[in-house]
Chains A and B, each alone.
Chain A
Amino acid sequence: MIKVYTSTVIEAPAEQVWGRIRDFNGLPNWTPFVADSRIEGGQPSDRIGCVRNFRLKDGGTIREQLLTLSDYDFQCSYSILESPMGVDNYVATLKLTPVTDGNRTFAEWWAEFDCAPEREGQLARDIGQGVFQAAFDSLKTLMRR
């Protein structure tokens, strides 16, 4: 089991950032790598257990299940059901915490998963930098507007 952890500071109040990312079906609205997304079975995107099925701009399809959604803690966790990444037991959490000094947001995103030992380093970089950091960078740009 390896853990990838990425964190940043976003120059906007946590309520506003949460409003932007809360929708489990909203990845195309704020990440740079998702082409389109839908919730399977026509369920609402804030129903625990719902599954988002999205296509990456480079072609792969990923299915993820919503495990936790907390408007109180500004926190969302989900697991991967299917993906081309070659990971098992993948559970990720995205969490926002207000920074009272400056009314900003501390954003954390971490994942734990299993994979072949020789792929650990590359996958950790691909997920930590290629996915989480890239999405944070895009979110920071959006929140500046």
Chain B
Amino acid sequence: MIRVVRSAVIDAPIERVWAVLRDFNSHTAWHPAIAESAIENDEPSDQIGCVRSFSLKDGNHIREQLLALSDNDYVSTYCILDATLPLSRYVATVQLKRITDGERTFWHWQSTFDTPRGREQEFADLVGKGVYEGGFEGLRSYLRRRPQGRVPGTPAIAGSSGSMATEGVVAARFGNADVLEPRSLQAPAPGPGEVRIRQTAIGVNYLDVYVRKGEVRLIEPPAPLGLEAAGEVLDVGDGVAHLLPGDRVAYACLPPGAYLGVRTLPAAQAVLLPDDIDDETAAAVMLKGMTAEYLLHRTHRLRAGETVLVHAAAGGVGLLLCQWAKALGARVIGTVSSEDKARAARAAGCDFVVVGRDYRFAAAVHEASGGRGADVIYDGLGEAAARENLEALALCGHWVCYGHASGPIERLRVEELGAKSVTFSSPVLFHHTADRAVLTDMASRTFEALRQGTIRLDIRHRYPLTAAAQAHRDLESRTTIGPLILLP
């Protein structure tokens, strides 16, 4: 009895590798030694007992039967029924395992068989090197291959450079919402490490307003705005193994440029969407949901029993912060500008809501917390709320300023923090998502929170992409509740 074992590391997530290997008849597509193959009797290729009948490029012919297949353990076991090669009692097992620190896969391939005396080494090499090692390389290049024109519905590619015409909305210059203009733009073919996505939904964020005004200098007009979207992969550049055409993906990243029908961007920023997360939800939750995730778990590790003050509690991030903080066992106080928004904030789990447009809330926070004040403030308001925030904080409280809808905080003296041992944080989402492992962790926790019902999205504001200017006007008028999305 000969035993052959080979193993390798594949630079792609286990789901991607398994999607190929679980298909018992896929080897013609990726294995360099296979000439042609068919499943006998038209059986499905995941039918236990099915037989693949195939010929090798060297002219040999083999029939193999699928003995076991497990989507749970990522295992496939099969045997040779008959072959023109002298291999008998051949049983092989392919097993994949997840490499949890990085999106890679461990692939273990082993078999036992008999062969005529004196030819053991010859066939051990044929199987180990020719079949298994050749298969590792074949699958690697199959996953790296740049598929061309394989996605149904892909528009004709314009120009010799492979760029694709697409509609978009640009800020023609810095200014009010009127500077947003629809334009016809190009989505270049993906270069190394890039992916091109047909976008189906685009998230609108208050940060887009800052960028449009030039307050946060992230673009040089004319240039498209937008930081998050969801859609379908059209094609990928060299060296991208974790995505394939047809994959549903979403992203939230810099630089701006999401207000497009088709966009090309670094593939490392795109995360695969689980089947149960739809495109609109993903486009609305990537930036805001991952922001809530890191604010509640990384910037400040929120503990049960703490008092949280959430400003703009009915805003895109605010609603998610309220829901998630409540689920973590915190006492949640929110500030909003209208009764309508107060109802939305209460429905999101706010225990106490301060309604007003005058940025006066410190007294109400102390009252609602039995005089203690807020242990942590999630502040997207900035300057207009700064003095009241200091007033509203508990001793040793944590002031987390992640936005400045009313303008940047102009002056904050260290002594003012010291007066209450206040910790001040000014965190930025993109510093967290720069590390892909952190990004995928944040995204999967956000999707899990959606799945568990810990956070819920009620998308009430949808606009055609070309109406982005109206979306901005509505957002700035402080009349919207929850997320806004654009539909290309």
Contacts and interface: CB of A to CB of B under 8 A. Distances in A.
Interface stretch (B101-109, B185-193, B211-219, B281-289): B101-109
A128 B102 CA distance: 14
Interface residues of A, number: 17
Contacts of A97: 7, 106, 108
Contacts of A100: 5-8
Nearest to A109: B100
Interface in B73-113: 97-102, 104, 106, 108
B136 interface: yes
B9 interface: yes
B12 to A, nearest CB: 14
B133 interface: yes
Contact of B106 (A5, A9, A128, A136): A9
Contacts of A128: 100
B136 to A, nearest CB: 6
A5 B98 contact: yes
Chain B contact residues (Cβ within 8 angstroms of A): what range?
10 to 19
A73 B350 CA distance: 54
A7 interface: yes
A140 B7 CA distance: 20
Nearest to A108: B97
A101 B108 contact: no
Contacts of B101: 6-8, 133, 136
A99 B97 contact: no
A68 B98 CA distance: 23
Contacts of B133: 101
Interface string A97-112: 1111110101010000
Contacts of B99: 7-9, 106
A100 B8 CA distance: 6
Main secondary structure of the interface of B (DSSP, over half): strand
A106 B104 CA distance: 11
A7 B8 contact: no
Centre residue among A97, A100, A108 by max chain B CB count within 10 A: A100
Given A7-B106, A9-B106, A106-B106, A101 B7 contact: yes
Nearest to B101: A8
Contact of A8 (B5, B6, B100): B100
Nearest to B304: A118
Contacts of A136: 101
B106 A101 contact: no
B100 A6 contact: yes
B98 A101 contact: no
A97 B136 CA distance: 17
B325 to A, nearest CB: 15
B100 A106 contact: no
A7 B100 contact: yes
A132 B210 CA distance: 42
Given A101-B136, A106-B106, A7 B7 contact: no
Given A97-B106, A99-B106, A101-B133, A9 B97 contact: no
A101 B100 contact: no
Contacts of B104: 9
Contact of B97 (A7, A102, A133): A7
A10 B133 CA distance: 20
A101 B97 contact: no
Given A97-B106, A136-B101, 19 more contacts: A5-B100, A6-B101, A7-B99, A7-B100, A7-B106, A8-B100, A8-B101, A9-B99, A9-B104, A97-B108, A99-B8, A99-B106, A100-B6, A101-B136, A102-B9, A106-B7, A106-B106, A108-B97, A133-B101
List the 10 closest pairs (A to B, CB-CB), nearest first.
A101-B8, A106-B106, A8-B101, A100-B6, A7-B100, A99-B7, A6-B100, A100-B7, A7-B99, A9-B9
Interface of B: 5-9, 97-102, 104, 106, 108, 133, 136
Interface of A: 5-9, 97-102, 104, 106, 108, 128, 133, 136
